[in-house]
Each structure stands twice: as structure tokens, then as C-alpha cells.
Amino acid sequence: MEIYEPKEDSYFLSEIIKDYLKKRDKKIKILDMGSGSGIQAEAALTKTNDVLAVDINEKAVTLLKNKGIKTKYSDLFSNVSGKFDLIIFNPPYLPEEDYEGTKTKNVTTGGKEGYELLLKFLIESKKYLKENGKILIIFSSLTNKKIIDKTLEKLNYKFNCLETKRLFFEEIYVYLIENG
């Protein structure tokens, strides 16, 4: 499995994280879900030392540990314990394409429709948020925003779109989510 190399979406989310954390207490406890190259964990580490990065990719886990980032192997929350003030997730969010190779599919595809992994994350995440905990996610217009919004409403999350960015063939959304 390849490690997802940061692209426009990663850099976009990273800047939003840095800006968001400027206004937060240094004692914030952060989980970077699906950390990949570690760009979001590194952005979070500019504010606090209490960052845990997790990834399903053993190569990514090794890379992150070599960077000195506290890291665990985990399939979403399977190896995570505790509660967090902030959970960051830049998930694979693209719909499955028949022509796409296995190497890239594992780091870019969020399921047949693109949103399945993100929905599973949202359902599981409630158990890992502190009382006033928040989630920052990024996803694409190719992922079906209406389904993400309906799921957030069904899970009784409050959410708003912090930023959008138009890329070549899609629009990227960054959401701030909190318990309702």
C-alpha cells in the first residue's frame, strides 16, 4: 500500500488546522485519523505536543514514527482509546473507478460511492470525542455532500462548512463538526 502524498486538499486542510488551532488552548488533545504522510499531525504539532496519529498503512506508521510523531497502527478507531478535543480526518473520499489500480485505490477511494469510509468514521467518532470535542474533515463534491449532511444530521452533530475550494473537476469542503 502506498502512502498518500500531500496534494491540494492536504495543504488546504493543513492551513485551516493551523488557523483553527491559533485560537485554542495548548492543552488540546488531538487525533489525526488516517495520517498518511503526517501533514495534518505536523500542523497540529505546531500548537500542542498531545497529538496521536493513526493509520491502517504500516508504511505510513513507520514513516510517522521515524518523523518522531506518536503513532499507532489502526483501522479507523480499532486501536484507539481515550477521548479527544479534536479529531482530524482527511479520508480517502473518491468514488471507486474500475480503471484505478490497487496502489492508488487504497489511498484515494472511500468506497464504491466514495463516502462509505467517511460515514463509518462519523458513526464511530462520537465515542472518541470529549464533551465539547470537535472534528475537522475534508471531502469532495464527488463524495455526495447531501449524504454526508444527512448523516451528520441523523447523528445529531452540529456542523458547518468552514471553507470550500474549487479544484480542477471538483469542489473541496472542510467541515467543523461538534456534538449536538
- Superfamily of domain 8-179 in CATH is Vaccinia Virus protein VP39 (3.40.50.150)
What pLDDT score does 77 carry? 97
Dist. CA 33–CA 74, nearest whole Å: 9
CA triple 27-32-37, angle to 5 deg: 125
> Beta strand 171-179 with 129-140: parallel, antiparallel or unpaired?
antiparallel
| Owner of C-alpha cell 487504497 | 106
Q: At residue 112, does pLDDT exceed 60? A: yes
Dist. CA 112–CA 16, nearest whole Å: 28
Q: Which three cell numbers stand for residue 47?
A: 500548537
Query: Per-domain residue ranges for the chain?
Result: 8-179
pLDDT digits (tens, 9 = 90+) for 69-109: 999 999 999 999 999 999 999 987 555 666 655 555 555 55
Angle between helix 145-154 and helix 116-125 axes, rounded to 10 deg: 20
Dist. CA 38–CA 3, nearest whole Å: 10
pLDDT digits (tens, 9 = 90+) for 9-53: 899 999 999 999 998 878 899 999 999 999 999 999 999 999 999
Buried b (16+ CB within 10 A) or exposed e, 48-66: bebbbbbbbbeebbebbee
Is the whole-model pTM more than 0.85? yes
